[in-house]
Amino acid sequence: MTNVSAKTIRDTVEELCVKAIEILPRDVLSALQRAMEEESNPLSKDILGVILDNARLAAHEKIPICQDTGMTYVFVELGQDIAIEDGYLYDAISQGVARAYVRGFLRKSVVSDPLFDRKNTGDNTPPVIHTEIVPGDEVKITVMPKGTGSENMSAVRMLTPGDGIEGVRRFVMEVVEKSGPNACPPLIVGVGIGGMMDKAAYLAKKALLREIGSSNPDPRVAAFEKELVSAINGLGIGPGGLGGATTCLAVHIETYPTHIGALPVAVNLQCHAARRASAVIRSEKRVLL
Ligand code: SF4
């Protein structure tokens, strides 16, 4: 059994929140750069240039990439041979989020309950935490500050097996088309297919963590991803919703077995501020990825 202290978890989450909010991952920057070079529409080219300049400036000046610093998603891959000492894992994660947002003067966007008071909690907590138990004695933490513009345009639909791949295609296209400029394109489109309703939604969110340029390991799914990228970019929504060939940078599909009577599909849209940061902790040593 390897021990990891709650304090190490807290400090790591704090560091990852700040990093994610200020620095776009390399794969996202490269995809935006490639899109700018390939765009023939001058206005779309300009908008992609502005998005890239904004990202570079944010990293250089250590300021947020976007004013919406999001609700904080924390994905934990917890090795089964790890013991967390001196505290509860979820408290440590929440404390890390609170420290990052309060100390960093980041916009706090979380309200206490969704229906009645809607009172700002003041420190961007609670985060949404997803935990998977994995083999080994490491813990991997990924922080994703998720803005609401793209989240509000996301959707889940319970298709039936008879709808098949054609039904999935229609649903994905419908969600992206309806989002227009509201999701701040160019997008990354996360698609979760299978399980039941909740699992499909989780898979769609998790799909957004994949590096741009990666493909689903199943060649049939990978081919479907490529086909959807072409179809979505054919919609002409373009960067900022002002037209052009780059409505999405990638489509990532994740699948899971499902019931004989079901075909749940979730589409989670991610705007161009595709922020995420990860670290691996083993014993008390942490490596930022
Ligand atoms: S959708 Fe993304 S880019 Fe648009 S305001 Fe929200 S966080 Fe910012």
pLDDT digits (tens, 9 = 90+) for 26-53: 999 999 999 999 999 999 999 999 999 9
Give the pLDDT confidence score for residue 286 in this predicted structure.
79
Taking CB atoms and a 6 Å cutoff, what residues make up the pocket around ligand 1? 66, 68, 147, 149-150, 184, 271, 273
Sign of CA dihedral 16, 20, 22, 23: positive
CATH at 111: 3.30.360
Residue of 271, 272, 276 with the most ligand 1 atoms within 8 Å of its CB, for mutation: 271
Mean pLDDT of the chain: 97
Q: How many structural domains are present in the chain?
A: 2
Regarding whether 71 and 193 lie in a shared domain, the answer is: no
pTM for the full model?
0.96
Regarding whether 169 and 209 lie in a shared domain, the answer is: yes
Q: Using 50, 70 and 90 to split pLDDT, how confident is the model at 287?
A: confident
Burial status of residue 149 (CB atoms within 10 A of its CB: 0-12, 13-18, 19 or more): middle
Which among 66, 84, 68, 87 is positioned nearest to 76, based on CA atoms? 84
Q: What is the mean pLDDT of residues 223-237?
A: 98
Ligand 1 atom nearest 145 alpha carbon: 7
Provide the percentage of residues in the chain whose pLDDT is more than 90: 96
Nearest protein Cα to ligand 1, atom 7:
147
Residue with tokens 């979820």: 90
Residues spanned by the domain of 69: 2-23+65-147+275-288
Regarding whether 246 and 282 lie in a shared domain, the answer is: no
Regarding whether 114 and 198 lie in a shared domain, the answer is: no
Give me ligand 1 centre to Cα 219, in Å. Answer: 32
C-alpha–C-alpha distance, residues 273 and 126, integer Å: 22
- Residues 240-285: tens digit of each pLDDT: 999 999 999 999 999 999 999 999 999 999 999 999 999 999 877 8
Ligand 1 atom nearest 67 alpha carbon: 8
- Asked if the structure places residue 37 within a domain, the reply is no
3-state secondary structure 146-182: ECHHHHCCCEEEEECHHHHHHHHHHHHHHHHHHHCCC
Regarding whether 101 and 122 lie in a shared domain, the answer is: yes
Regarding whether 162 and 143 lie in a shared domain, the answer is: no
Ligand 1 atom nearest 272 alpha carbon: 3
- Asked if the structure places residue 42 within a domain, the reply is no
User: Which token pair is 215?
Assistant: 């493909």
Q: Using 50, 70 and 90 to split pLDDT, how confident is the model at 11?
A: very high
